[in-house]
Amino acid sequence: MGCIASAATVCIMIPVDTIKTRLVTQSSSIVSNGVPYKGIIDCAVRITREEGIKTFYRGLAPRLMSVVPMIGIQFGVYEAVKKMMLQRDVDMKQREDAEIYVPIDILGDASMEVSASQEEPYPAPLIRKKR
């Protein structure tokens, strides 16, 4: 599910990133007819008119190849850790002598989940480093 969500997000946001990049870099580069963009809408209209819709999605394949596995791994780790913590909570409640689940335990579980999701190796940076 994480892969589908990240792919949809990339497909929606890549035109916005293209517009943002064009607006930020327009002072250092020459715009096609020498006239700078007036704003977001002007930039989007001119890119569509002068270069075509495909320009917005020019870098889609590499972005999908880097983002989709990364978010898929992150969602997978999140779901696995969540399942493990819920099972631990059930196991603790079934024992008669279980201690009370205090906020420090919740903080410990949350920090374990965050560190696990941040420490897994993302495929794209590993591929770039190995080159």
**What span, in angstroms and rounded, lies between the C-alpha atoms of 47 and 51?**
5
131 residues of the chain, pLDDT tens digit each: 778 888 999 999 999 999 999 998 887 555 556 778 888 999 999 999 999 999 999 989 999 988 888 888 888 877 887 788 777 766 666 665 555 656 666 677 777 666 665 655 555 555 555 55
